[in-house]
Amino acid sequence: MEPIYVSLDDKFDSKSVVVEVPKTRKFTRGKSSIEYTTSDVYVEEENGAQLPISFELAEQNMWGVNGIYPFGLSKDKQADNKLEGFQVVIR
């Protein structure tokens, strides 16, 4: 099953897109239980196959350095001695 790829130049018919009713899911990481809500989105073919959709985004120039802290650590407790590493983004 090949995903549908929509480039910036395409005239995409959004009427073919199916957006399911939102579902709330949860997962546990460490001692934290995280809930999130999403909808499954796809294009349904005549035979009932549900094809994923990928969209091209406009190119952007960006850069940055972010500190990586333990998952779930509140912002007020983020300090140099709690850093686990750094994330560097260059594009």
Residues 49-80: tens digit of each pLDDT: 888 988 888 887 878 888 999 988 888 999 99
Q: What phi and psi, each to the nearest 5 degrees, are found at residue 16? A: -85, -5
Coil, helix or strand for 72? coil
The band of 84, judged by pLDDT with boundaries at 50, 70 and 90, is very high
**pTM exceeding the 0.85 threshold for the entire prediction:** no
CB 68 within 8 A of CB 56: no
Q: What is the pLDDT of residue 15?
A: 82
